[in-house]
Amino acid sequence: MNGEHTSRRRLLGQAFWGAASIAAVAACTEDSDDDSAVTAGVEGGSKPVPQPLAMIRTSWSGDPFALGSYSYMAVGATPEMRVVLAAPLSDPAGSKRVFFAGEATASDSPATVHGAQESGRRVAAEVRAEASDGERVVVVGAGAAGVAAARQLADDGFDVVVIEARDRVGGRVHSVTAVDDLIVELGASWVHDVTASDLADQLAELAVAVAPFDYDEQSVLAADGQRIDDIEGFVQPATEAIAAAIDWAEDEEFDLSLAAAIERSGAAQDVDPEALDHVDASEIAAEYGADASELSTWWGQEEGTEGDDLIVLGGYDAIVQEMAEGLNIETLRPVRRIEWGTNGVHVLDENGNEVEGDRVVITVPLGVLKSGSIEFEPPLPDSKNEAIDSIGFGLLDKVWFVFEEAFWTEDSLMWNIAGDPGAPYREWFNLLPLIGRPVLLSLVGGPVAREWAQRPDADVKMAALAQLQKFIDAGW
């Protein structure tokens, strides 16, 4: 990379409220047949937005094997809790039996694919240091972390079995074919900070297409429908106020949400509310899966990476598929109970079927641990439960539209609508310049995503097309 493309993480780390992101897997849905219901409310401009050939939406919060998208530092959480979450558990004789991996356990790059991979490699090294040759290791979860751990352990000569709840490997890395040969990423879409890992090299070896993504290539509409020409000038007072609020909060006795710090410090009292709302909706909620009312002021900006990003143009899950080749992976087996002690481990699925081993590696998403759907015997220690409860697990959902032909002329990679508090589908990615096909992608995160995850497809389609109409009415 030549450094010309600015990372969104760098922007957030310097000017906004840093953390890391990884988008994730969810369900692919069919178009509603009721086009009259969908088109209502999107006409009236110079030309109506046409019906898409396909709509693909995700629903992370409704996925029982994810229950959200990725972790973040919520109010009251601290980075040390990730270390506690990652720490193995020992039996009464002092032998480490239960190990933990996954992006939420990654101290360096949480909420990223490379953070998940590295956590799998870390835990494989922990098991290798503890276990005897030929021991059986049960890995729970076949996502990026689980497969990375299993691959390394199998290569080291251990007897490895992977238990996966889904009917596929990949977890929150999930690529599907939408229309013809068009592949869309329902899960992770970006390689964050190409210098931080070998992800870019892995994708290149597998011939997965990627492209540099320049977050500076964005266009923004104000609430009155007019283009904001000076975007930097528009958001700078808001970002400066946020930075001042964060500085103010450092002297507070207790951690606060970013929203509370902004309000109590008075740092933003003279700032355009549209600019503050734009930063919160686009640079916070759509990045972290949590908005300013949820993120920690003390620690929210401490996590994340800098450097240039790549957008994956289809086939991200090839990295997991390739590592999974030859592994013993048993799918469609949701785990409900894990028993562990001096005699080893017993992993029971929802049907009561048991897998025995000497060690177990837990790689399920933090949302699953939070739900309590997996019972541990003996129970997890209080410190582990506190970390599980305290670290946030955000939600980022996607809506993909595939059109027959491009009806827009705007060539910016990112489109945004400012000053529409609570509205969904305000941030769009124009993929036409990257893939040469008329595809638009919208991201929605945080509380707004949780609200709209409950809505039917027809409502989502109508709301998203209504937002697109605003861009077309503005001459885009």
Q: Is the pLDDT of residue 302 over 90?
A: no
Residue 19 pLDDT > 60: no
Q: Cis link prior to 88 (omega < 30° from 0)?
A: no
Chain segment 380-396, per-residue pLDDT in tens:
999 999 999 999 999 99
Asked if the model's pLDDT at residue 398 lies above 80, the reply is: yes
Q: The tokens of 467 are what?
A: 């937002």
| 223 vs 72: CA distance, rounded Å | 30
Q: Among candidates 187, 170, 178, which has minimal Cα distance to 398?
A: 187
Strands 136-140 and 439-445: unpaired
pLDDT tens digits along 152-173: 999 999 999 999 999 999 999 9
| CA 368, 371, 373, 376 torsion-angle sign | positive
Average of per-residue pLDDT values in the chain: 90
Distance between CA atoms of 140 and 98, rounded to whole angstroms?
Answer: 11
Tell me the per-residue pLDDT of 229-257, one tens digit each, with 9 for 90 and over: 999 999 999 999 999 999 999 999 999 99
For a pLDDT cut of 90, what percent of the chain falls above it? 82
pLDDT given for residue 308 in this prediction: 86
User: What pLDDT score was predicted for residue 305?
Assistant: 64
What pLDDT band is residue 107 in, cutting at 50, 70 and 90?
A: very high
Question: Can you give the pLDDT at residue 25?
Answer: 30
Residue 122 has pLDDT above 80, yes or no: yes
Helix, strand, or coil (residue 146): helix
Element (H, E) at 443: strand 439-445
Spatial CA neighbour of 91 closest among 445, 449, 339, 413: 339
pLDDT single digits (tens) 425-475: 999 999 999 999 999 999 999 999 999 999 999 999 999 999 999 999 999
Rounded Cα–Cα distance for residues 275 and 308 (Å):
25
> pTM of this prediction?
0.90
Chain centroid offset of residue 456 CA: 22
d(CA 439, CA 433): 10
Contact 187, 174 (CB under 8 A): yes
**Letter for the amino acid at 391?**
I
The fold for domain 74-171+317-381 equals FAD/NAD(P)-binding domain (3.50.50)
pLDDT at 92: 96
SS3 102: coil
Angle between helix 8-15 and helix 231-249 axes, rounded to 10 deg: 50
Strands (E), 282-325: 310-312
Amino acid at position 151, single letter: R
Helices (H), 190-229: 199-205
For position 21, what pLDDT does the model report? 28
Peptide bond into 378 cis (omega under 30): yes
SS3 304: coil
Beta bridge partners of 346: 339, 356
Least reliable range by pLDDT among 10-19, 317-326, 423-432: 10-19
pLDDT for the residue 389: 98
The answer to whether the CB of 42 falls within 8 A of the CB of 328 is no
Which residues are bridge partners to 205 per DSSP? none
Distance CA 97, CA 148 (A): 19
Judge contact between 453 and 27, C-beta under 8 A.
Answer: no
Sequence-distant (6+) residues with CB within 8 A of 311 are: 189, 190, 191, 210, 211, 212, 213, 434
Domain ranges across the chain: 1-66+176-313+395-476, 74-171+317-381
CATH topology (fold) of 1-66+176-313+395-476: Polyamine Oxidase; Chain A, domain 2 (3.90.660)
Distances (CA, A) of 401 to 54, 75, 420, 439: 6, 35, 22, 6
> What is the tens place of the pLDDT at every residue in 287-300?
889 999 999 999 99
What confidence tens digit (pLDDT) does each residue in 30-75 have?
A: 333 444 334 433 444 468 999 999 999 999 999 999 999 999 999 9
Does the structure show a pLDDT above 60 at 23? no
- Give the whole-angstrom CA distance, residue 20 versus residue 25: 17
In whole angstroms, what separates CA 320 from the centre of its chain?
Answer: 16
314-353 per-residue burial string, b: 16 or more CB within 10 A, e: under 16: bbbbbbbbebbeebebeeebbbeebbbeeebbbbbbeeee
Cβ–Cβ < 8 Å for 340, 137: no
- Lowest mean pLDDT, pick from 134-138, 178-182, 327-331, 442-446: 178-182
Q: d(Cα 132, Cα 125) in Å, to the nearest integer?
A: 13
Q: Is 367 a residue whose pLDDT tops 60? A: yes
CA distance 138 to 361: 6
